[in-house]
Amino acid sequence: MRGKHISEPIEALVSRAKLLASKGTRELLLIAQDLTYYGLDIYKKRELANLVDQLSDVEGIDWIRLHYAFPSGFPMDVLDVMNKRSNVCNYLDMPLQHITDNMLTSMRRGITKQKTIDTVNQIRDKVPGIAIRTTLIAGYPGETKQDHEEMLQWVSDTKFERLGIFTYSHEENTHAHLLKDDVKEKVKKERADAVMKLQQEISYNLNQDKIGKTYKVLFDRKENDYFVGRTEFDSPDVDNEVLVKATDTNYVRIGDFANVKINDASDFDLYGDLV
């Protein structure tokens, strides 16, 4: 997504949400190049919290999920709405990309390492139990071994609930294309693999803590002998899934919600039975 930010009026988005709900939509994903910017162009102030608050009034919408909220200028009042409204998922996709001041400056992220750490801590303090998803980049121009090792330590310390990482791709018409693509492809992949190996262990440990607990699950599909769904802490296609064995006593309709008690867990999947 490139180009200038363009905010659609709240009334238009609420109207669209009502139309979707009338056709059976149960979950809304708010996705933008940077959600935190919402409203600055048409309302002259950040209005994401107001937008989410009004969308949560739409009858028939069970889940509202926030994607791509940058940490720089993040409107903390959105978290007040998240706490107040039961249909706003305790989930936030915040693409942090890197952690060292060296890389954040080169990426023009408008934030420092310490401010990033403070922001994540403030979000977790304000919404206990929130699942934060982030995406990182390995092998960005100028990334040193020390930058990579600092990123690994930060991931280990922070223990993100959800995390993905991409190797840097040198694309035209981007600011980074003016920089020298000086990290070898093999090194990029090795660094990305190291981060994901660490995240795999973090995810496994977090999932083990969910065994014995019951979660509201939205079921997306049936795959082989399992119904496959997600909790409020998981976005479609990119996050963890919940698998329920399809039996005479375990049966759900695709697109419906059900309560599931977790009885087993792997790195990125939960297994359970209908309550």
Q: How confident is the model at residue 52 (pLDDT cuts 50, 70, 90)?
A: very high
Q: Which domain holds residue 131?
A: 10-208
Of the residues 208, 239, 266, the one at which a domain ends: 208
Ranges assigned E (strand) in 115-237: 131-138, 162-167, 214-223, 226-230
Whether residue 245 has pLDDT greater than 80: yes
The pLDDT of 39-53, averaged and rounded, is 97
The pLDDT of 227-241, averaged and rounded, is 97
Here the CATH number for the domain that contains residue 62 is 3.80.30.20
pLDDT at 265: 98
Same domain, 196 and 246: no
pLDDT at 50: 98
Between 81 and 4, whose confidence is greater? 81
Residues of the chain with pLDDT > 90, as a percent, come to 91
pLDDT at 171: 81
For the chain, what is the domain count? 2
Here the CATH number for the domain that contains residue 221 is 2.40.50.140
Same domain, 189 and 222: no
> What integer best gives the mean pLDDT of the chain?
96
Same domain, 21 and 139: yes
Residue 183 included in any domain? yes
Whether residue 274 has pLDDT greater than 90: yes
Q: Distance between CA atoms of 127 and 17, rounded to whole angstroms?
A: 25
Q: For residue range 199-226, list pLDDT tens digits in order.
A: 999 999 999 999 999 999 999 999 999 9
- Answer yes or no: are the C-beta atoms of 73 and 47 closer than 8 Å: no
pLDDT at 49: 98
Same domain, 87 and 103: yes
Residue 2 included in any domain? no
DSSP 68: -
Of the residues 208, 223, 255, the one at which a domain ends: 208
Same domain, 36 and 169: yes
Same domain, 231 and 200: no
Same domain, 242 and 265: yes
Between 251 and 249, whose confidence is greater? 251
Sign of CA dihedral 204, 206, 209, 214: negative
